[in-house]
Amino acid sequence: MNFFQNIQPTEYQFYKPKQLVLGKTMEEHLRLSVCFWHTFCWQGTDMFGKSVFERPWKTKEEKIRAGFEFIEKLSLKYYTFHDVDVADEGPLEEVVGLMAEEMEKRQIELLWGTANLTGHPRYLAGAATNPDPYVFASAVHQVKETLDATHQLNGHNYVLWGGREGYETHLNTDMAQELNQLGRFLSLLADYKHKIGFKGTLLIEPKPHEPTKHQYDFDVANVYAFLQKHGLEKEYKVNIECNHATLSGHTLPHEVAYAIAHDLFGSIDANQGDPLLGWDTDQFPSDINTYTQTLYLILLNGGFQSGGFNLDAKVRRQSLDLEDLFYGHVLGIETIAKALLNAAHLIETGHLQEIVRKRYQGWETDFGKQIMSGKMSFETISNYVKTNKINPKPVSGRQEYIELYLNRINAEHEDVALI
Ligand code: XUL
Ligand code: CO
């Protein structure tokens, strides 16, 4: 059964999977992935309204087949899933065979799998951070089953998003106890990963709040501190989501830069929020500027290792038609593809790198090197300033010039084809 045979998705203008950019194909650079939950499970409900989408797939088998057909039709190579997305609430092992068959048939790979530890009522007060050790144990069991399936499907990563690992009120919460439980959980999981020989990367996906008032994996900096405390900073990397970054008061490039600076960068959940709304709207990426700046950082860092761009995004509730699923994904893919071209252009000209190099060139002098290598003490530095009457002159950061330059690069395009 084909679900999308009557739909011809609009052609890509920027995304040419086999086009070489800085020595790699666009497909290799971006590792674009479709997620099962928003695209094939979400029925268009919201806090105030019922299901509005009428999808032609009814059983879990049909949903899985529809998913793979859709990904192939978009010429993409990766997907992501939660256990409950594909197995409904049943055992995951019942559908792993079908997923493997579809992957083989359509040459599609698993970017990552994850367990949904937020939906079931048992996780009301958290999963690993629950006051009840039997809930902790149930979460261990669920994650083990999902990691086993991810391993069997040769997943490139395994993701943990702590949707209920947080608190609603201090008054009933022992925070130190909960944080130690989370540390234990993550240590146990890392040990198990090595035991079964899973070669993928374990990723933590930070998010500041929603559904809980405060989540313990608030942002990348917070996750890094937590991992370090538990001696796990070499075991985990981060899956950074654009809309989570903005909810935490940062931007996607900020979170990516922070992760890169701490050797923690893993993967991206590509979407964006609405600047007027304080919740996770999970819209398809349309802001080329944000993604250009993000890709610039990623490319300078050598590109993705095991990660990629997972389109963790959903169409708006009024986008009722199957065609809208295609427009949503094509919008996201084209945004990221154009951003890749822009970022590659920025790197090829070397102009920005040169500006940054010059800005920090003082640190390449003997004086700068002596400070950084620890050869000068606090007092020696102070004496140096006094003796040599040091009086540094402020210099321009050239922000407007750089933003103008970036705008010109972002705007440069071939003729835009009408859809
Ligand atoms: C929730 C979210 C999740 C994770 C996987 O905000 O982004 O879909 O990506 O559980
Ligand atoms: Co996500």
Count the domains in the chain: 2
Residue 6 covered by a domain: no
Could you tell me if residue 9 is inside a domain?
no
Range from 273-287, 342-356, 401-415 carrying the lowest mean pLDDT: 401-415
Q: Is residue 14 part of a domain?
A: no
Half-sphere exposure of 376 (CA within 13 A, CB side): 15
Instruction: Give pLDDT tens digits for 132-146.
Output: 999 999 999 999 999
Distance 238 CA to ligand 2 centre (A): 11
* Residue 69 within a domain: yes
- Go through 233-260 and write b for each residue having 16 or more CB atoms within 10 A of its CB, e for each that does not: bebbbbbbbbbbbbbbebebbbbbbbbb
280 is in an annotated binding site: yes
Structure tokens at 196: 């079964």
Surface-to-core class of residue 370, CB atoms within 10 Å of its CB (0-12 exposed, 13-18 middle, 19+ buried): middle
244 belongs to an annotated ligand binding site: yes
Same domain for 191 and 157: yes
Q: Are residues 62 and 194 in the same domain?
A: yes
- Helical (H) or strand (E) element with 80: strand 78-82
* C-beta atoms surrounding 148 within 10 Å: 17
Task: Tell me the two tokens of residue 74.
Answer: 């978009």
Q: Which of 83, 85, 217, 219 is catalytic?
A: 85
Q: Which residue has the higher pLDDT, 415 or 240?
A: 240
Single pTM value for the model: 0.97
First to last CA, the chain: 28
Answer yes or no: is 418 within a domain: no
User: Is 219 annotated for ligand binding?
Assistant: no
| 269 and 326 within one domain | yes
Please identify, among 333, 349, 365, the residue that sits at the C-terminal boundary of a domain: 349
Is residue 2 assigned to a domain?
Answer: no
In ligand 1, the atom with minimum distance to the C-alpha of 163 is 1
Residue nearest to atom 10 of ligand 1 (CA): 161
Q: What's the pLDDT at 181?
A: 98
Buried b (16+ CB within 10 A) or exposed e, 91-109: ebeebbeebeebbeeeebe
- The boundaries of the domain holding residue 405 are 352-410
Q: Cα of 40 to ligand 1 centre, how many Å?
A: 15
Output the ligand 1 site: residues, CB below 6 A: 37, 82, 114, 159, 161, 205, 207, 241, 269, 280, 312
- 263 catalytic? Reply is no
- In 3D space, the residue among 78, 284, 296, 117 whose CA is nearest the CA of residue 204 turns out to be 117
pLDDT tens digits for 312-367? 999 999 999 999 999 999 999 999 999 999 999 999 999 999 999 999 999 999 99
* CA 77 to ligand 1 center in whole angstroms: 20
Residue nearest to atom 5 of ligand 1 (CA): 161
366 labelled ligand-binding = no
The residue whose CB lies within 8 Å of the most ligand 1 atoms, and thus the one to mutate among 116, 205, 248, 252, is 205
Taking residues 86-92, report their average pLDDT.
92
Specify the CATH number for the domain of residue 216.
3.20.20.150
Report, as an integer, the average pLDDT of 302-316. Answer: 98
Bridge partner residues of 272 (DSSP): 283
- The mean predicted confidence, pLDDT, of the chain is 96
Q: Which atom of ligand 1 is nearest to the CA of 118?
A: 10
Q: Tell me the best of 85, 241, 243, 267 to mutate to test the pocket of ligand 1, counting ligand atoms within 8 Å of each CB and taking the most.
A: 241
Q: What is the pLDDT of residue 410?
A: 81
Position 15 in a domain: no
- Residue with structure tokens 């035991």? 195
141 is catalytic: no
Residue in 35, 111, 207, 246 to alter for ligand 1 test, most ligand atoms within 8 A of Cβ: 207
- What pLDDT is stored for residue 416 in this prediction? 53
One domain for residues 142 and 32: yes
